[in-house]
Structure 1
Amino acid sequence: MPSTPDDETDYLPCATPDPGRWQEVAPGVLWIRLSLPFQLDHINVWALDGGAAGWTLVDCGLGDPRTRAAWELLLRDALGGRPVERVVVTHFHPDHIGAAGWLVERTGASFAASLTEWLFARTLSAGSDAATDAAVERFYRRSGLEPEALAAVLGRKGAYGRGVPSVPATLTRLRVGDRLPVGDRLWTVIGGSGHTAEPVSLHRQADAAGPGLLISGDQILPRISPNISAWPTEPEADPLADYLASLAGWSALPAETLVLPSHGRPFRGLHARAGELARHHAERLAEIEALCATPQTAAAVTRALFPRPLDTHQTVFALGEAVAHLNHLIAKGRLERRAAGPGVDLYRRVDDTAAVTAR
């Protein structure tokens, strides 16, 4: 995952809040930081002041006791005990939607997300069946994971439900281009794809009362690249093509927009950061294509891309990212996938000369 040195990023000049605390980053916009029990140890969530109607919360952290305890204090202190009008989630990942069911019940707020992200969350939180379990096992066996790593990954069964114990039963559906009123300000729903299927970001235009803002979710992050993964439920998908197309779309927003990301610190430089992320993926693709001059399993490609020791949680995301890049190269005609032994796939670079001869 690429890093951007601090001296090359125009970060907002304010203190980063401690876990469970907050910082105003624009009039009526609170930056709240919540803890996560992973190497990526925090998530930023956002509280938008809607005046008499109450607050709009964007993302909400995991559905665990620590997060609920943090929200109890935040509802009292950061939000002043005032009503919460709605809870918006950018996408279905547990650190974004995990506490949504509890928050909606606790506050009486409405719930808003894209339909796809809500359906994913509802499906995954309900648990799996035998067919799904078999598809998950087949996906990871095909990758060539070693037996110990395979057993650890398969042992994570039910991890989503532990982070997302409930999902709101009713939805206000968000579509690209929708205008979300918060007090006397409008936030426009911006689309995209790649990190998940139908994430939403929220954009507020600059005016005399404040700067242009983009709540970007995980689509644009300042120091790490959002995870772009293929998953067992859609093993041959090409989410990287979707993500690269989404990056190109950020050029439609003003370059000076203040980006409020889910991880890291608020920053300016949206267009430059989108370009950096596109170059990062181009470099990854070139690295993988060269590596596959000799046939490789997805697990071997993962080890080459992420040579540091990985825990099981990190292994799942690293392997998913490797498969996404492999699938993209297959779609581009640069690699081919062939079975090598029972249930294991090998990826090999397509020889340009042979490909021309075949045509």
Structure 2
Amino acid sequence: MTDISLQRDRLEKPTLIYPFASPPEAGKVIAIAPGVVWMRMPLPMALNHINVWGLEDDDGWAVVDTGMRTDETVAAWRDLFANANEQRPLTRVFGTHMHPDHIGLAGWLTRKFNCRLWMTQLEYLNCRVLTADTGREAPEDGVTFYHSAGWSSSAIENYQARFGNFGKYIHALPNSYRRIQDGEEIRIGANTWRVIVGTGHSPEHACLYCVDLKLLISGDQVLPRISSNVSVHPTEPDANPMRAWLESLAKIKREVPDDVLVLPSHNDCFRGLHARLHYLAASQERTLDRLRHTLKEPRRAIDVFAALFGRSIGETDGSLLNLATGESLACLNYLLHRGEAKIELDETGVARYQMR
């Protein structure tokens, strides 16, 4: 649900340029380029903010992402509307992807301004499915999934107690939406933005690239100081999102020049896109090499945390354990799909992985 990433490597990080001295305060805006403003919404977690973007449209403003459904975020939006020098409505809401910090108030804003949600199909549909789990008991498939990863009975009980929380942070989505697709060019006010879809962090994540303004709204696909969580989930235990994420990094490097200003969902606006993309890919490859070394002996998913993240993960923080397990399985599945590793279940159903 969150984008709090775990430290993957100790590679020397590239020198990025941050052209703005500080981010906007809640309820305020910073002008990024003609017709483009930066806003920031609070989050109730360690990663305590998300950046959202305003794009001047013909009859008002389009916004990209919304923040999570919380009283604090609603208050921040109300402050923005009250402080606006010109009372122009929202014309449309773009969602980069389905996570609650990005789409949590899309339903509220689209209803408030009678405008449409623009989103990729897989993100919209997956969000509808996950929000429908609110109030349900945890499925047996999920229990089996985390048991196989090596979770204790108490950790699984914690998962069962927390199951269905996803929808609590998302205002009911509109019942229809405007589908956007990879490569589509969308006119917003005076500028054209091209959709660039990435995968791995989420099913069909939309970035928006404006050639004329030299801007890339990168969402969670490229972040300057942290790395997006790439996880395997109980609904698709055999998935290979790490391959998809690495391929998406290469795709963005091919399709977007290095001279853009990157507008990420977390941290600050930055220059140095290609250096950051190279670092993220190289860091992950070194992490996979450490995992290969660790898998000389059979290991459960929870046994490889130190190799991947440089630290142990306890059971007391259920959210962090969930993120770490999902990303560990993404790395393990990557090696399985490449034929480098094998998997065996013991008599209790716990999986152990080892290099071939």
Structure-1-length-normalised TM-score: 0.91
Aligned to 1:353: none
Structure 1 residues 173 and 226 mapped into 2: Cα distance closer, same or farther (>3 Å)? Answer: same
Aligned to 1:329: 335
Deviation, structure 1 residue 129: 9.1
CA contact (8 A) 2:14 2:275 kept: no
Aligned to 1:28: 35
Aligned to 1:93: 99
Range moving further from structure 2, 111-120 or 71-80: 71-80
State how far apart, in whole Å, the 1-side matches of 2:130 and 2:24 are: 32
Structure 1 residues 135 and 265 mapped into 2: Cα distance closer, same or farther (>3 Å)? Answer: same
Q: Secondary structure at the match of 2:139?
A: helix
Which runs of 5 or more structure 1 residues have no equivalent in the other structure? 351-359
Deviation, structure 1 residue 198: 0.5
1:85-106 deviations in Å (ceiling 9; x for gaps): 0000000001001111111111
Higher relative contact order (CA 8 A, sep 6+): 2
Question: What is the aligned-residue identity percentage?
Answer: 37
State how far apart, in whole Å, the 1-side matches of 2:218 and 2:85 are: 22
State how far apart, in whole Å, the 1-side matches of 2:54 and 2:45 are: 24
Q: Secondary structure at the match of 2:205?
A: coil
Deviation, structure 1 residue 137: 1.1
State how far apart, in whole Å, the 2-side matches of 1:129 and 1:63 are: 17
Q: Secondary structure at the match of 2:292?
A: helix
Letter in 2 for 1:61: G
Q: Secondary structure at the match of 1:202?
A: strand
Q: Given the alignment of the two structures, is residue 74 of structure 1 paired with residue 80 of structure 2, yes or no? A: yes
Deviation, structure 1 residue 22: 2.1
State how far apart, in whole Å, the 2-side matches of 1:320 and 1:302 are: 11
Aligned to 1:234: 236
Q: Given the alignment of the two structures, is residue 295 of structure 1 paired with residue 298 of structure 2, yes or no? A: yes
Aligned to 1:215: 217
Deviation, structure 1 residue 320: 0.4
Letter in 1 for 2:104: G
Aligned to 1:356: none
Q: Secondary structure at the match of 2:233?
A: coil
Deviation, structure 1 residue 74: 1.3
Structure 1 residues 91 and 142 mapped into 2: Cα distance closer, same or farther (>3 Å)? Answer: same
State how far apart, in whole Å, the 1-side matches of 2:177 and 2:269 are: 29
Aligned to 1:152: 158
Aligned to 2:4: none
Structure 1 residues 327 and 62 mapped into 2: Cα distance closer, same or farther (>3 Å)? Answer: same
State how far apart, in whole Å, the 2-side matches of 1:29 and 1:261 are: 14
CA contact (8 A) 1:125 1:167 kept: no
Partner residue of 2:196 out of 158, 176, 190: 190
Which runs of 5 or more structure 2 residues have no equivalent in the other structure? 1-6
State how far apart, in whole Å, the 2-side matches of 1:79 and 1:156 are: 42
CA contact (8 A) 2:198 2:206 kept: yes
Letter in 2 for 1:286: D
State how far apart, in whole Å, the 2-side matches of 1:48 and 1:19 are: 18
